[in-house]
Structures are given as structure tokens and as C-alpha cells.
């Protein structure tokens, strides 16, 4: 009965109101633990299997999430010694308003991607090409005399109307989604696609 009441009280979205809560979500492991408990309750052992992190580390981060009131104890299961505690997020999703934002997740990932591109690009050249309509492309291309690159980088400047821009966004999302669902390779790939009006 108590568990059902707690589940009923769980909101779909929680608006973060304190800096401590926003800071907890900026920690990647804490955010992962919180989201792992967003749709189902989990014990520390469940989280250990899910993340591969040691119990002592998980205990520390779960405690910080409890203190930030983003995570709650949903129930305790009796056993010899200390009972097993199960945790549940206070919501299914979390909204951090602009005034509490620190660095955006993309900022750190962009830095990581730039470093990975530098390390893995192999023998490359930069090709500038006109498209005949006053636009141009810049492509990082493989130097045919060198080894195959492990990383690529593409840049393009072009003009689109709103319909074309929306179509490009949909195609990029579908492309990323298709490859992220494949999960067939042995390498973890960091990929980024973005576009924005230039003015």
C-alpha cells in the first residue's frame, strides 16, 4: 500500500529549484543513477550490476541524491543483518531552469570530441570546394597516401528554407537513432551533429 502511494506521488516531471539539485544532475554518474531509478525501483546491488561501479562509490552518490531530495527510499526488504533498501526517483524526468544551469553537457562533450578528433584523425587534408551557387563546403578528407582515419569531420555552409531545415533535422535524428540502436560494433563512438542560422 505504501509503495503504491509513493508511486502515485511520483510526478512525471520535477522542476529543479535549488543549486544543490542542479549540481547533482551535472554529475554524470549521479544523473545516470537517478535516471536508472526513474521508472523502476532499484537496490544498490541492482545499480552495481547496471553500472559496474563499486558499492562504496554507489552508496556515496546515492546518499548525495537522497540529500538533494531527488531520490527517495521506496521500500526496505528484510534480510539477515541490514535490510535491503530500494530507491526510486521523485520523478520520471527533471527540468533544470536556465538560472541554475552550469556548463551545458554539450560543452564538455564538444571539448572531448575536439580532442578525440585531434588524436584519431590520421593523415588528413582539408578540402574547400565551391558549389556553383555562391556557397562552399569544407570537408576533412583522407589523404589517400596515409592510413584510414578513425575519425571524420564535416562542415557545410548552405541556404535552406524552413521546410528544408526541418527535414534536415529529422534526417539527422533518424540517422543517429538508427546507428545508436544497432549497437553492433566493438568501439564506442562519440558523434555530434548540429546546425544553426548564421544570422
Within-domain flag for 139: yes
Q: What is the pLDDT at residue 5? A: 42
Q: What is the pLDDT at residue 78? A: 84
**186 touches 104 (CB < 8 A):** no
Is 24 in the same domain as 89?
yes
**Beta bridge partner(s), residue 59:** none
Among 66, 100, 134, the domain-final residue is 100
What's the gap between Cα 122 and its chain centre? 27
Within-domain flag for 191: no
Within-domain flag for 189: no
Among 41, 65, 100, the domain-final residue is 100
Is 109 in the same domain as 92?
no
* Predicted model pTM: 0.53
Which residue range(s) make up the domain with 142? Answer: 105-182
Burial 100-118 (b: 16+ CB within 10 A, else e): beeeeeeeeeeeebeeebe
Within-domain flag for 113: yes
Other C-beta atoms lying within 10 Å of the C-beta of residue 9: 9
Q: What is the pLDDT at residue 1? A: 38
Is 10 in the same domain as 85?
yes
Q: What is the pLDDT at residue 152? A: 72
Is 114 in the same domain as 158?
yes
**103 touches 23 (CB < 8 A):** no
Is 38 in the same domain as 83?
yes
Among 100, 135, 170, the domain-final residue is 100
Within-domain flag for 138: yes
H or E element at residue 182: helix 162-182
- Residue 7 makes CB contacts below 8 A (sequence gap 6+) with 74, 88
Domains in the chain: how many in total?
A: 2
Is 62 in the same domain as 78?
yes
Nearest to 36 by CA among 22, 48, 23, 24: 48
Nearest to 114 by CA among 192, 195, 197, 28: 192
Is 42 in the same domain as 94?
yes
| Tens of pLDDT, residue by residue, the chain (199 residues) | 344 444 445 568 888 888 889 888 888 899 999 999 998 999 999 999 988 999 999 999 999 999 999 999 999 888 888 889 999 999 998 888 888 877 666 676 677 777 766 666 555 667 788 877 777 877 766 666 666 666 677 777 778 999 999 999 999 999 988 888 777 777 778 787 887 887 7
The enclosing domain of 77 has a CATH number of 1.10.10.10
Is 115 in the same domain as 134?
yes
Is 111 in the same domain as 145?
yes
Amino acid at each position: 500500500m505504501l509503495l503504491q502511494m509513493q508511486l502515485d506521488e511520483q510526478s512525471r516531471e520535477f522542476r529543479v529549484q535549488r543549486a544543490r539539485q542542479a549540481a547533482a544532475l551535472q554529475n554524470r554518474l549521479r544523473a545516470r543513477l537517478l535516471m536508472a531509478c526513474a521508472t523502476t525501483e532499484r537496490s544498490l546491488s541492482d545499480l552495481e550490476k547496471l553500472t559496474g561501479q563499486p558499492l562504496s562509490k554507489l552508496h556515496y552518490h546515492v546518499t548525495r541524491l537522497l540529500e538533494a531530495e531527488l531520490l527517495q527510499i521506496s521500500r526496505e526488504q528484510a534480510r539477515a543483518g541490514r535490510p535491503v533498501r530500494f530507491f526510486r526517483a521523485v520523478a520520471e524526468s527533471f527540468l533544470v531552469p536556465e538560472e541554475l544551469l552550469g556548463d551545458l553537457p554539450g560543452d564538455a562533450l564538444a571539448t572531448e570530441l575536439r580532442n578525440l578528433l585531434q588524436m584519431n584523425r590520421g593523415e588528413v587534408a582539408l578540402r574547400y570546394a565551391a558549389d556553383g551557387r555562391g556557397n562552399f563546403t569544407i570537408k576533412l578528407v583522407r589523404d589517400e597516401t596515409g592510413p584510414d582515419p578513425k575519425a571524420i569531420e564535416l562542415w557545410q555552409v548552405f541556404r535552406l528554407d524552413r521546410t528544408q531545415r526541418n527535414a534536415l533535422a529529422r534526417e539527422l535524428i533518424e540517422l543517429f537513432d538508427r546507428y545508436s540502436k544497432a549497437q553492433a560494433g566493438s568501439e564506442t563512438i562519440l558523434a555530434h551533429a548540429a546546425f544553426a542560422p548564421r544570422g
